[in-house]
A and B are shown apart, each in its own frame.
Chain A
């Protein structure tokens, strides 16, 4: 990729979060309530006024707040008047995509500040287990066969394990490590469940072979909104903002919509060999991001992924460059992401043990918090930069963002 100079051209200067739970004593909250709250907190952290927001990018419409053009609902609530304003909808991958579009506009110099907001409260308002197959599967060609969401992802798992020799034990190790990290996070969904072992995973009930209960992400029993304010390099360096985190590099690649239509070579670079059931657009996105930032996997002190099943995390670790293709299972089995001494990976507990909120920037927030030393109870020493992977289902959309305490070049 040509060096366009966009790496380190934008920075995060404000971040805000709002959370709610199913059993809140003051009653349930909607994603819009949480989104507005997070947005206000992010603007306050950045020290900017409503009038300065040049772009509003939201993730896709929350499943628990289905309106057309959710960005309009939020804009209306905040009474802002941005130049650019849109949902960014590469499934869950769109969440990190909001930052990428913001960076493009900021780098071009057409705006000074962008506000990116993701929010979802499906855990409060919906039966996720029952409803999710309607989102992940093709209603005409897949759902009538009785395809559950795990059974759609299981197609990848079955083929991946077949082609790479990855064992259920290797996959289970991901769940074990994610749970260990979740024990350190005050808001992780599975924190109160205590640690688990490989044996526990293998003994949990079969959901859709080869995926057992503990191979699957847990739905977060609440809602989370995360808002981020970004600005361009010149303003980030102006001294106006209390905290700066550089958007060192980013990439994105989306390849299909339904599992059943994923197959078949695209026939053009860099997708000659796929997508198939063992390779995703993450490798493409990561390559873009590393090239933009001028760094590599060994320069990352921390990594987060929103992959919602054990085996999927192995594929993502491979494609983010932490181990060779097909070696994710052996990498993890050999302690590659071990809580003690391995790559700090999914340090909030991942989708498996922190829980998934369907979409969000909370994995990004974790890396920002780690970089600035406020990941209380789970702080990784000396985090200078980290990589965040955002997955849009089913293994279809992949966003990668590298954030850094200092510009990487």
Chain B
């Protein structure tokens, strides 16, 4: 991940608009990959979707998890996800949160329910569509409006 889009400092995306938020050290882990999420963003660069995995429980978790919430193990490792899931919930955004996204409205954000039992917030792309609860979705990787490469989900095909 390039420093310009993910680290505090020059070129950082200011999500606050309005009165600019001053992203000091206390925002580490919010604006940028933190130690527990760096592996996720490294995988995204390789166009791979990975999740946290507990060897003891065999359960997958959201990429941010630090400990297994079942057994308490701190030894979570990265495991590649199938990239397949279904649309759990969605919203078509008509008023963008900032000027970065204003040129793209309407676009659809939502929660994908992955086969591994993990839900991720994402961008849904209606290819071939349409976006509807329960529709099959598979991962793709796109550079979105802020210039950041992100996992998105194409809806309408399980392939």
> Does A27 lie at the interface of the complex (its beta carbon under 8 Å from any beta carbon of B)?
no
Interface string of A120-141 (1 = CB under 8 A from B): 0000011111110110011111
Residues of B within 8 A of A37 (CB): none
Task: Please choose the segment from A147-155, A226-234, A370-378 that sits at the chain B interface, where 4 or more of its residues have CB less than 8 A away.
Answer: A147-155
Interface string of B82-96 (1 = CB under 8 A from A): 000000111111111
* Contact (Cβ within 8 A) B144 A131: no
> Does A48 lie at the interface of the complex (its beta carbon under 8 Å from any beta carbon of B)?
no
- Residues of A within 8 A of B (CB-CB), count: 47
CB nearest to A258 among chain B residues: B121
Residues of B within 8 A of A126 (CB): 18-19
Known: A146-B107, A146-B123. A209 touches B89 (CB 8 A): no
Contact residues of B: prevailing secondary structure = loop
Tell me the bound Cα distance from A261 to B119 in angstroms: 7
CB nearest to B123 among chain A residues: A145
Residues of B within 8 A of A151 (CB): 91, 93, 97, 109
Interface string of B51-95 (1 = CB under 8 A from A): 000000000001110000010000000000000000011111111
Residues of B within 8 A of A294 (CB): none
Residues of B within 8 A of A267 (CB): 70
B19, B100, B107, B120: residue with the most chain A Cβ atoms closer than 10 Å: B19
* Contact (Cβ within 8 A) B123 A134: no
Say how far B140's CB is from chain A's closest CB, in angstroms.
Answer: 13
- Residues of B within 8 A of A (CB-CB), count: 53
Q: Which 3 A-B pairs have the closest CB atoms?
A: A127-B18, A260-B121, A154-B91
Tell me the bound Cα distance from A125 to B18 in angstroms: 9
* Contact (Cβ within 8 A) B30 A139: yes
List 27 A–B pairs whose Cβ atoms lie within 8 Å, in order of A's numbering: A125-B19, A127-B19, A130-B16, A131-B19, A131-B21, A139-B31, A140-B32, A140-B34, A145-B152, A146-B100, A146-B123, A148-B95, A148-B97, A151-B91, A155-B110, A157-B91, A158-B90, A158-B110, A159-B133, A207-B94, A208-B92, A209-B92, A209-B94, A260-B111, A261-B62, A263-B111, A277-B89
* Contact (Cβ within 8 A) A158 B109: no
* Contact (Cβ within 8 A) A263 B94: no
Residues of A within 8 A of B121 (CB): 138, 141-142, 145, 147, 258-260
Interface string of A196-220 (1 = CB under 8 A from B): 0000000001111111000000000
Contact of B16 among A131, A138, A157, A205 (CB under 8 A): A131
Interface residues of A in 262-321 (CB under 8 A from B): 262-264, 267, 277
Known: A140-B30, A141-B121, A259-B111. A146 touches B91 (CB 8 A): no
Known: A126-B18, A131-B18, A146-B144. A141 touches B94 (CB 8 A): no
Tell me the bound Cα distance from A127 to B62 in angstroms: 32
Known: A131-B17, A155-B89. A146 touches B101 (CB 8 A): yes
Say how far A293's CB is from chain B's closest CB, in angstroms.
Answer: 33
